[in-house]
Amino acid sequence: MATKKFSARDVRELVHQMQFNKKERVKRFLSLAPEIRAVLLCNLGKQTLNDIARKIKDEVIIEALNELDPDQTTDLLRQFPKLRRHRLISRLTRELKNSVELLSSFDPQTAAGLMSADYIQIETGETVQAVARKIKEHESRTGRIPTVIAMRANKIIGYIPGHALAIARPSEPIERLIRHVPSIAHDANHAEVLEVFRQHPHARVVVRGKTGNVIGVIYSDDLLSRISKHESASLYHLAGVRQEETVADSTWAKVSSRYKWLIINLATAFLASFTVSLFDETISKYVLLAVYMPIVAGMGGNAGTQTLAVLVRGITLNQIDLKTAWPTISRELLAGLINGVINGLIVAAIVILFNHDLRLALVLSIAMMTNLLVAGFFGTLVPLIMKRLGKDPASSATVFITTATDVLGFLTFLGLATILLR
């Protein structure tokens, strides 16, 4: 099967086969051409990848890795156990091994963790013909066309687009072909890399080493891929699910990845139930309260999750921290108040229409406004506190926000009912 005829749909179908047909996955994998195996390895879930890798020889994996870019190979090797990873690296081609060892030496959460080693450096005094020769040499060694970075006195001047080289005369100096390219320090975080791409909408950013030397290039496609993976991971965290879990995991794998989260939620549910139990007498006298209690809690939980999603993104992009939180808290509180008034009026109208009870309508609308204020406050503050404590705000904040909206929502609703419905 030729790579160029292997579409994204084909990849999805193969991944599906691998995930759900455990008995045949290794046999199916080995029947594929090396270049297709390489594409597949990059798209498999971690558990499926590990299961296949355990059952095939190093030679098969090496053959597939040699079809990948160094940065793809590095990302893939990070998923293997340490001993096998080192063994596989030692058997790569010299060119790929050198690149992978360089990329592996950097923190994957920094700019250097996003970069590719496919570049060449040229001096500004060289001709188009000389540059074309260097490109050809790099391509013959690696099988990939490099980014051409122009230097002058060890300083980055810019890069040369491929189309500009293609139409230039061989004897022409490359100075007039140079285009600006932004650069960034190797230890910059992903949010800083994203900001550079926003300020300079180029397809690439050069990565500088400690002394200002060029050590790699970040392509926009690689950054978008990493952002996509991060957003997916955040979604998993918000749901209390392990990032590696897939739809094809075994029942026990799903149970083991979720039970701790569910136990924590069970504890908070008991706290909410205890709050409700304090008002047994009020509920027994006014049964309609039990009908409307889930509305108060549910609206607060949804509003808190909305605020948390915005805050997690802001924290990830370094747009907010605990010291600069007040403007955001005040805006979230105002938004919560306005939304509380809107939804409070709607639910009050429904209560008056169907139950003809003005006092219950007043209690429910006030409780709604209060709980949306609680959701805005805790949805903003809790993830910032978790971040300050060194915890993942996406996974650790949810339980506290939900507890706050449930407990305070019930407390407000039933407390007001006890006072106003006597």
Q: How far is CA 128 from CA 123, 145, 158, in A?
A: 11, 16, 15
Q: Which domains does the chain have, with CATH numbers?
A: 3-105 (1.25.60.10), 119-219 (3.10.580.10), 251-420 (1.10.357.20)
For the stretch 302-334, pLDDT in tens is 898 889 888 887 887 677 888 888 999 999 999
Say what the pLDDT of residue 412 is: 92
Whether the Cβ atoms of residue 374 and residue 405 lie closer than 8 Å to each other: yes
Which residues have C-beta within 8 Å of that of residue 360, sequence separation ≥ 6?
A: 286, 288, 289, 292, 351, 417, 421
Say what the pLDDT of residue 335 is: 94
Predicted TM-score of the model (pTM) = 0.55
And the tokens for 156? 């980055």
Mean pLDDT of the chain: 83
Residues of the chain with pLDDT below 70 are: 1-6, 224-250, 253-254, 257-258, 261, 317, 394-396
Residue at 156: amino acid letter: I
For the stretch 3-21, pLDDT in tens is 445 677 778 788 887 877 7
Say what the pLDDT of residue 261 is: 66
Dist CA 239 CA 260 (whole Å): 12
Closest by CA position to 27, among listed 51, 1, 59, 2: 51
For the stretch 287-298, pLDDT in tens is 888 888 888 888
Say what the pLDDT of residue 413 is: 92
